[in-house]
Structure 1
Amino acid sequence: MSLRTLFATTRHGAHAVRHTAERWLAAHLPPDGLAATAALLIAELTANAALHGRVRGRAARLDVRLDAGELRVEVTDARGDRWPTPQHPDSGGESGRGLLLVDTLADEWGVRPHHPGGKTVWAVCRR
Structure 2
Amino acid sequence: MNQEDFPPVSPEALKSFKENSPRIIKKTVDISMERSKEVEHHGKKARELLSTGMEFTTRMLESAMLVGEISILEDQLNWACVRLPHDGVTLENILLMLELYQKEIKKTLKNEHNSQIIPYVDWMITWQKEYIKKANIQESI
Per the TM superposition, whether the score is higher than 0.5 is no
Q: Give the TM-score of the pair, scaled to structure 1.
A: 0.33
Greater relative contact order (CA < 8 Å, ≥ 6 in sequence): 2
Higher strand share: 1
Higher helix share: 2
